[in-house]
Amino acid sequence: MYTVRYGIVDIKDLTYSDATFQKGLQLFERGAIPDFSRDKAGLSFYGEVKGTKKYDAEVYLDEEREIEDYFCTCPAFEAYPGPCKHVVAFLLAILNSSSDSRDDRKSLSQKASTGSLASRAPQKRYDVEQTNRLLDVLQFELLEENDLFDRVPIQVEYTLVMSDLRYGQHFSLKLRVGSGQLYMVKDCDYVIKGILAGRQLPFGKKFTYSADQHELCEEDRAVFLFLKQILDAGAASGRDYRSSEDRKDVTVPASMVKELLEKLAQCPLVYIKTNAYQTRGKTLIPEQIVKDFDQLPVSFSLSELPQGGLLFEETTETAAESIFFNQADIFLLDGNFYYLNTSMKERLTGIYAAISQSKHNGLHIPPESASDFLAIAVPALQKFAAISLADTVQSTYQSYPLQAELYLDWKQDKLITELFFNYGETKIDAAKEAAADRDLTPDNIVRDRIAEGIVVQKFINSGHDAFIFDECLYLEDLDHIMSFLYEGLEKLAPHCEIFTTAAVENLLYQPVRPPKVAIEVNNQSRLLDVTFSTDEINIDDLKQMVRQIAANKSYHRLSNGKIVNLRQKEIKELTDAVFQLDVPLKDLKAEMTLPLYKAFGVDTDAGIVHQDEDFMTLINRMEKPEKIDFDLPEDLKATLRPYQETGYKWLKGLDHYGFGGILADDMGLGKTLQVISFIAGSLGEGDTKPYLVICPSSVLYNWQKEFKQFAPGIQTQLITGTKSERSDCVNAAIAENIPVWITSYPLLQRDEDLYEGLAFRTVILDEAQSVKNATAKTTKAASALTANNKIALSGTPIENALSELYTIFSIAQPGLFGTRMDFKKMEPAQIAKKVKPFILRRLKADVLKDLPPKIESISYIEMTEKQKTAYLSQLQLMRQETKAMLDADTLNENRIKILAGLTRLRQICCDPALVMADYKGGSGKLDRLMEYLAESKENGRRVVLFSQFTQMLAIIREKLDAAGEAYFYLDGQTPNQDRLSLTTRFNEGEKDLFLISLKAGGTGLNLTGGDTVILYDSWWNPAVESQATDRVHRFGQKKVVQVIRMIATGTIEERINELQEQKREMIDSVIQAGGQSVTSLTKEELMQLLEI
């Protein structure tokens, strides 16, 4: 059985009109298709439909067993779109007999029994005809399935007529079919497709083809399938205008004759005719097809004409016909079919065309073309045909191999060139011959014009077509001379022998020893010692070479007159080393001392760079910190995870070499613990200077608590309180030699005088985005601190722009990027390469495989009608004001006013009551929030809600208080001591809701007791939102964390979200994660926000 994947509805959809479908249904119900055949795959179906007349129908299914194509021989099929009624009936019959679509068959059966929509005659008591037909089909299928048919192979005789006529070449195939007695096929299309489809075909009184009695042998089936492909292609072209008389044979396209011949050669009864009037053709066997051969069995001769010149004629001796079927790429010779490649065909076509169009016997070649014919035509034809040269031709015309020579000299700042073509004793000056515009060789010299042309073209290309002829051929442009010497000669060398004078040799830079750059680590000074060793290239030359490369030049002339190829591997590595060491050219010297961090820019694989062992140790340690051999501190009261051990070793490596850096681990991965481990492992190493931790005020006490928890043996000093109290703290820390001092960013800028003259071993900058503003007092105060090194901690070192990264590194690793202007010119890829050794970044998804996932979603909320009115009113006002500023080009002067207006729009999205004192129209977002909180309480979820507007939190608190709901609350006014107490109580399970101001609670808190984060309003900077959500989704979290962003539909909140996504890619190209603020809006972004 077979299966289909279409139903009645699909047939109806295909049909042009319901009337056509109903007529097809009636035909099916009347049994108009008593039988049909199909292929074994059940994808092609062929049947005869009995309507008013009999028509042949075909249906084709695709690999999914859905309807792909169909055909009918009735006139209506071509006249109207879609299937005709006969095809509809056939599709229904196929569906009814399939093993699938039982519901469709049932409905068909029901329609047949109830009369469907057509009028019905009274039903007989039994379906005799249908039952018998079904039994016949099933019996045939079972016999087919079990291979019980005893089929007899039919005989097929083929006659291929290959005609070479005056008006063109024609190829056609005739068939005779039978069993014992053969019958001429009168309609090849019908017979080929009918036999392949398994239809019953009468050929005569004594022979009728039947699929259950006859079959094609494998070879004949291959031919039939190929012929069907030809017929289908002809039908698809729309140019099949053949009459029934024309269908007595199959016209074969010339391009398909080769493949057809190969298939026919495998069949037993095949004849070839070279014209249609031959009584009987010649048999074809596989050996007659010749595909692999060195030469054709054809021959030509070349002799002298009495009056001068040459006679070229064919001398092939053949026992039978010789026909060149150039359209089919076949040469028929002595009964063999030689398959020609394109080159052979084109050359033979040219030769036979010239001979046939000649007015003589053979081709008469004039004397002036004789040598070229011998040089070009004879070698071209000798590759596949035999050519004999008369003795007189060989004695008259001298043939020598081409010997090309190029002579170079350097005179008066010009490169003089002389190109010669030598044949035996004959020497030809190519330039002078070209200038004379005539052949300067005797007629009896056979020149290899092809080889000469190749040499000349390569010679001209090598000089960039810049040669000048003035009695001699020369180049005077220095760039062209350099290119010719360094690149052109290499391309010319295989084609000609090159001779140079001593002057030319001295022009080329060819050092005895290649240049060398030696780089060593000076462990005492913690600096790099760099030495340039370059024969014939002084330091001024090297500077100029670097400038030339920057200007995209390829060559440079040294002060000694020699020319250097700047693309040469050793020279490129030399100039690259200067670039990589990032030394200003004015400071470049043969021997230099550079900061140690410059080592990481050097390509250590460059052949000219030589490094000492300490240098390679430095590189390996910083690139693979997990392999650094630093012991963990024994008194640490924590078990570090593997990634935290790597972080500890990385920090130790930085410290060992005096480097600064950024520990940029994802929030919640324990940056604080890694720093405490680093300090614990470094104390007692001889340097007694204290460590200074600078952090946001909100986590000041948290740092002290973490030290007590993980390293209780390390004393810490909080520097807080009033100015005098802070001064006392500093003095006490010095007097008592306390190793770790902890202060906050706000206090640091006020206490510059307290730290003046003090030196620290390491300064730790927690949440280092606090010093991202280069002009801020805090940033300047942090920069002014004296320390062995400075380590920045930040999960988001880039929040607003790449310039923030520059500012942080100007504190942590001064000099890494040069000037701010240099940094602005750098591509993100350059920046990424420079910072790579000095940033360690791991994501939770990569290192905490057991951390439950964070599921983020956006809740789009419709505003209330009055809320919409308030929003649209403010939006219209903003658009008018902004458009006026754009027109007047006063956008920058009014930026604060614009941001204030945008803030009002965002507040209206939260609740218009934030900006309208008497507003009573409600807030769609607030209503939805209260629903969320109720649902969360019912489902046992513990919610942490963030909003940047404390006034909005106040409105939410009023709602909660009115409903009697318990919650914790934290904002910027919450004392630091209370922050720790509130978070601890929440994490221990007290109360299920925590309201937090986004800016106050976005950093320094551990809220793993929560499992749901609601961001009530969108902050400009997604990095701040990420910091907030990661208060909950961090190390120690045991539950899946759900993050819900509440966004008012069709408002500025949606536009802000889109802008944030657009800007993430630039940040990610430099550092793995981080956000981008939209507070520094461009003109285009502002227009996008307000949809101007």
pLDDT for 796 beyond 90: no
**CA distance readout (Å), 11 to 1, 95, 765:** 21, 10, 73
Which amino acid is present at 687? D
> Residue 433's pLDDT band (boundaries 50, 70, 90)?
confident
Most confident of the following: 662-666, 667-671, 1026-1030: 662-666
Helix axes 218-237, 188-197, angle to 10 degrees: 120
> Residue 810's pLDDT band (boundaries 50, 70, 90)?
very high
The neighbouring-strand residues paired with 961 are: none
Q: Does 2 fall in a domain?
A: no
pLDDT for 90 beyond 70: yes
* Number of Cβ atoms within 10 Å of the Cβ of 591: 11
**Distance, CA of 154 to CA of 820 (rounded, Å):** 89
Segment 575-590 shows an average pLDDT of 87
**Distance, CA of 883 to CA of 806 (rounded, Å):** 35
**Distance, CA of 243 to CA of 230 (rounded, Å):** 17
* Number of Cβ atoms within 10 Å of the Cβ of 206: 10
Domain count, the chain: 7
DSSP 1047: E
Rg for the chain, CA atoms, rounded: 46
Q: Examine the domain organization and report whether 452 and 529 are in the same domain.
A: no
**Distance, CA of 328 to CA of 333 (rounded, Å):** 14
**Distance, CA of 864 to CA of 878 (rounded, Å):** 21
Maximum distance among all Cα pairs of the chain, rounded to whole angstroms: 127
* Number of Cβ atoms within 10 Å of the Cβ of 289: 17
Q: Examine the domain organization and report whether 407 and 503 are in the same domain.
A: yes
Most confident of the following: 44-53, 389-398, 731-740, 838-847: 731-740
**Distance, CA of 227 to CA of 178 (rounded, Å):** 18
Q: Examine the domain organization and report whether 392 and 403 are in the same domain.
A: no
What mean pLDDT value characterizes the chain? 85
> Residue 1090's pLDDT band (boundaries 50, 70, 90)?
low
pLDDT for 115 beyond 60: no
CB 582 within 8 A of CB 813: no
Q: Examine the domain organization and report whether 984 and 1068 are in the same domain.
A: yes
pLDDT of residue 747: 95
Segment 198-205 shows an average pLDDT of 81
Q: Mapped to the 3 state alphabet, what secondary structure does 865-932 carry? A: HHHHHHHHHHHHHHHHHHHHHHHHCCCHHHHHHHHHHHHHHHHHHHCHHHCCCCCCCCCHHHHHHHHH
Min mean pLDDT across 543-552, 621-630, 816-825 is at 621-630
Q: Examine the domain organization and report whether 205 and 124 are in the same domain.
A: no
Q: Does 618 fall in a domain?
A: no
Segment 936-956 shows an average pLDDT of 93
Segment 131-148 shows an average pLDDT of 58
Q: Does 292 fall in a domain?
A: no
Residue 416 in tokens: 């003089």
Q: Examine the domain organization and report whether 992 and 1055 are in the same domain.
A: yes
Q: Does 315 fall in a domain?
A: yes
CATH label of the domain that carries residue 800: 3.40.50.10810
Q: Examine the domain organization and report whether 262 and 383 are in the same domain.
A: no
Q: Does 1 fall in a domain?
A: no
Signed CA dihedral, 128, 133, 134, 136: sign only: positive
pLDDT of residue 109: 46
CB 678 within 8 A of CB 807: no
**Distance, CA of 937 to CA of 959 (rounded, Å):** 15
Q: Does 54 fall in a domain?
A: yes
Q: Does 321 fall in a domain?
A: yes
State which residues form the domain around 29: 8-145
Segment 827-837 shows an average pLDDT of 85
Which of residues 255, 284, 313 is at a domain's end? 284
List of E strands, 1-137: 36-38, 44-50, 54-61, 67-72
Residue whose C-alpha is closest to residue 394's, from 366, 414, 412, 374: 374
Segment 408-418 shows an average pLDDT of 90
Segment 991-1018 shows an average pLDDT of 88
> Residue 121's pLDDT band (boundaries 50, 70, 90)?
very low
Segment 101-126 shows an average pLDDT of 45
**Distance, CA of 712 to CA of 989 (rounded, Å):** 27
Contacts of 189 (CB under 8 A, 6+ apart): 231, 247, 250
* Number of Cβ atoms within 10 Å of the Cβ of 570: 15
Q: Examine the domain organization and report whether 36 and 164 are in the same domain.
A: no
CATH label of the domain that carries residue 1053: 3.40.50.300
**Distance, CA of 428 to CA of 445 (rounded, Å):** 11
The residue behind tokens 């959500």 is 1029
Q: Examine the domain organization and report whether 528 and 577 are in the same domain.
A: yes
Most confident of the following: 201-215, 312-326, 707-721: 707-721
pLDDT of residue 744: 93
pLDDT for 141 beyond 70: no
Q: Examine the domain organization and report whether 193 and 68 are in the same domain.
A: no
Segment 1039-1044 shows an average pLDDT of 91
Residue whose C-alpha is closest to residue 715's, from 732, 694, 695: 732
Residue 806 in tokens: 């520059």
The neighbouring-strand residues paired with 995 are: 945, 969
Q: Examine the domain organization and report whether 219 and 258 are in the same domain.
A: yes
Paired sense of beta strands 563-565 and 322-325, if any: unpaired
pLDDT for 106 beyond 50: no
**Distance, CA of 844 to CA of 825 (rounded, Å):** 33
Most confident of the following: 135-139, 404-408, 443-447: 404-408
pLDDT of residue 470: 83
**Distance, CA of 458 to CA of 494 (rounded, Å):** 11
* Number of Cβ atoms within 10 Å of the Cβ of 820: 12
CB 417 within 8 A of CB 500: no
Segment 830-853 shows an average pLDDT of 83
Tens digit of each residue's pLDDT (9 = 90 or more) over 887-897: 888 877 777 88
Residue whose C-alpha is closest to residue 670's, from 711, 718, 706: 706
Distance from the first to the final alpha carbon of the chain: 65
**Distance, CA of 1040 to CA of 1033 (rounded, Å):** 8
The residue behind tokens 């520097």 is 719
The residue behind tokens 């009261």 is 637
Which of residues 221, 256, 284 is at a domain's end? 284
> Residue 626's pLDDT band (boundaries 50, 70, 90)?
confident
Q: Order of strands, edge to edge, in the sheet holding 330-333?
A: 289-290, 336-339, 330-333, 322-325
Predicted TM-score of the model (pTM)? 0.51
pLDDT of residue 118: 37
Segment 197-203 shows an average pLDDT of 85
pLDDT for 781 beyond 90: yes
Phi-psi region of 364 (alpha: psi -120 to 50; beta: other; left: phi over 0): beta
Which amino acid is present at 448? D
Which of residues 396, 430, 464 is at a domain's end? 396
Residue 655 in tokens: 């410290």
The residue behind tokens 């698809």 is 236
Q: Examine the domain organization and report whether 1028 and 972 are in the same domain.
A: yes
Q: Does 560 fall in a domain?
A: no
Segment 291-315 shows an average pLDDT of 91
Segment 959-984 shows an average pLDDT of 90
